[in-house]
Chain A
C-alpha cells in the first residue's frame, strides 16, 4: 500500500520587541526568575493590559512579506484554561479576526534527496495571529514541587499557520527553514531556536495515496530544532502507518517528541476535554489598522528573499542553488552584493566567453563561489556569523580582483585568503609580502617548461606517442617548479606548444 503524508505547521515566532505585548516589562532573555514579570504579567488583581504597538507593526510586516491580506480590524480574545505558567487563567490571543488573514504563501526550495530531484513548492499560509507567550515550568526538584518563572509570560508571539500542504518531513523542514530565514530577514524575530524564539508544532496525518480526505491528525508540540522537526515527523509517520496497518486507528491528540528516545508520546495533561471558552477580551478594544499604516510598513519592507533570489538568477545568471544559498539570510545576501559592487567598481575587463557573456556575470559567479565556499566554510569553522567576518566585503573584492586580473591563481588565492583571515592585511599587501605574484612573463615560464621537458625524456616520448593524459603530469611539474605562481592559462598554452615539439 502506498501512503501519503500530510503535514501542516503552526509556528510560534517570538516578536523581538523590547517589552511585553500587554505590559511595559522587558522581554530580554536570561534574566533572573520573575524579575521581568510585572503586576500585569503576574495577573495581580485589578491590573489591565495595554497593547504594544511594535507587536502590531511586526505582525503586519510578516503578513505583507508573505502577501497575505491584513485585517483592518482584528480582535483579541481570551482562551481560558488553567495552567500554572498562565497567570491570568486565560491566554490573550486572536481567533475569529486575526491580524494576518488568508492569502499568504511561502515558496520553499526542497533539496534533492537520495531518490528525488530538488524542486520548488508554494506553501499556503492560512493565517497569522498575535498572542502572548506563557511562562516556564521548571521541573528541577523543589521538594517534589514545580517552580514557575513568569519572565517569558506576555512575550509577544506571532503564530503562523499553514494549510496542510507539505508531503514529507523534507518539505516540512524546507518550509521551517524558509520561514525562519524570512522572520529574521524582515527583522521581526531573532530566530534563536535554543532560546525558544522560534518553535514549531507539526500536524501530521497519513492517508492512502490517491485519496482526498485527510486522515486523523496528531499534533506534535514544541519542536525547537529543524532536526527534531524532521525526526519527530518521521517517527510519527511510521507510528501512524504501523498502527493503521495493524488494524488500529489514529486518535486525534497532542503529542510530545522525546529526542533522547527519538519517539513521540501522548501528552496526557492536554488531553482532558479542552473547552477553551473563547470570547472577545473586554479589557481590550478592537485593533484597527488603516490603509496608510499598512502602506507605510509595506514601503519600509526590504527586498524579500524570494525577489532577491529571482533577481540574482536573472540579473547575474547565478545558478538557482547559488542564489538560494546567498538569499538564505539577509546579511549574507548583502555581503555578496557589497563584494560584487566593490569588485565591479575596480573594473573587471571585458573577458567574455559563452559561459560568461559579460564581465558582470563573471564577477558575480566568482564572488558567489568565494562567498558560498571559502568564506562560508571559514565562518562556519570559526562559528562566526557573516556580520562578524574578519574579511570585509571590500577586502574580499580586493582578493577577487587579483584573481580576475591574473595577478594570482585561484590556488594561490586560497593562501592569500587564509592570510587575510588571520589579519595579515589587504590582498595586495599579502601578495607583495609573500611574493605570491603570478608569473606571467612568457620567457620565465618557457624556461621552467624547458627544464621540465629536459628532465623527463621518457614521459615526453610517451606523450608524443599519444599518451595525452601525461599533459597533466607536465602541468603539475611546471606548477610545482614555479611554486604555484605560473599563470595557468599561459603555462598551458606554452606547454602545449613545446610538447608538440
Chain B
C-alpha cells in the first residue's frame, strides 16, 4: 500500500490540522516510511485470534446515580480562550 499526497491531505483535514503543500510532501515521506515499518504486521496470520483492547480482562465498574460534581463554571472558564455570559464562544456554526 502506498500513501498519496491526497491521502495526507484527507487525513490532515479529518484531524483538523492545517498543512501547507510543502508540509504535506514532508508528511508523505515520513508517514510512508512509518507505514513501511507497520507493513510487517500484515505478514502474520491472525485468523481466530481475539483482538485485545485492554491489558486486563476486567469489566466496567458501575457508578451510583448520585450528583457528585458541583458547579465550578468560574474555575473551568478561567482557562477558556473566549467566553461571554457563561458561554464558550466559537466562530459561527452553520448547520
- Residues on A lying within 8 angstroms of B by beta carbon are 17-19, 23-26, 32-40, 42, 44, 50-56, 82-84, 137-139, 142, 144-150, 256, 267-269, 273, 275, 277, 280, 282, 284-288
| Contact call B59/A42, Cβ cutoff below 8 A | no
CB-CB < 8 A to B41: which residues of A? none
| A32–B73 alpha-carbon span in the complex (Å) | 10
CB-CB < 8 A to B84: which residues of A? 142, 147
Quick one: given A24-B69, A84-B88, A268-B94, are A42 and B76 in contact (CB under 8 Å)? yes
Q: How many of chain B's residues have a CB under 8 angstroms from any CB in A?
A: 35
Majority secondary structure, A binding face: loop
Give the A-B contact count at a CB cut-off of 8 A: 121
Quick one: given A33-B86, A147-B87, A280-B53, are A25 and B69 in contact (CB under 8 Å)? yes
Closest B residue, CB atoms, query A73: B59
CB-CB < 8 A to B95: which residues of A? 256, 267, 269
Q: How far is the CB of A417 from chain B (nearest CB, A)?
A: 42
| A275–B63 alpha-carbon span in the complex (Å) | 32
B40 interfacial contact with A, CB 8 Å: no
| Contact call B67/A34, Cβ cutoff below 8 A | no
| A256–B69 alpha-carbon span in the complex (Å) | 35
CB-CB < 8 A to A147: which residues of B? 84-85, 87-89
| A149–B82 alpha-carbon span in the complex (Å) | 13
Quick one: given A25-B69, A275-B14, are A145 and B91 in contact (CB under 8 Å)? yes
| Contact call B68/A24, Cβ cutoff below 8 A | yes
Q: How far is the CB of B32 from chain A (nearest CB, A)?
A: 21
CB < 8 Å: which of B54, B66, B72, B91 contacts A285?
B54
Among B16, B58, B65, B66, max chain A CB count under 10 A is at B65
- Residues on B lying within 8 angstroms of A by beta carbon are 10, 14, 16, 53-54, 58-69, 71-73, 76-77, 82, 84-95
| Contact call B91/A26, Cβ cutoff below 8 A | no
CB-CB < 8 A to A142: which residues of B? 84-85, 87, 89
**Nearest 5 CB-CB pairings of A with B:** A24-B68, A147-B87, A53-B62, A38-B69, A54-B65
| Contact call A33/B87, Cβ cutoff below 8 A | yes
Closest A residue, CB atoms, query B91: A145
| A84–B94 alpha-carbon span in the complex (Å) | 11
Q: How far is the CB of A416 from chain B (nearest CB, A)?
A: 46
| 13 A-B residue pairings within 8 Å (CB atoms) | A18-B67, A19-B66, A39-B76, A51-B62, A55-B65, A139-B92, A142-B84, A144-B92, A148-B88, A150-B88, A269-B94, A285-B60, A287-B60
| A23–B14 alpha-carbon span in the complex (Å) | 28
CB-CB < 8 A to B87: which residues of A? 33-34, 138, 142, 147-149
CB-CB < 8 A to A82: which residues of B? 16
Q: How far is the CB of B71 from chain A (nearest CB, A)?
A: 4
CB-CB < 8 A to B86: which residues of A? 32-35, 149
Among B54, B60, B72, max chain A CB count under 10 A is at B60
| A40–B63 alpha-carbon span in the complex (Å) | 14
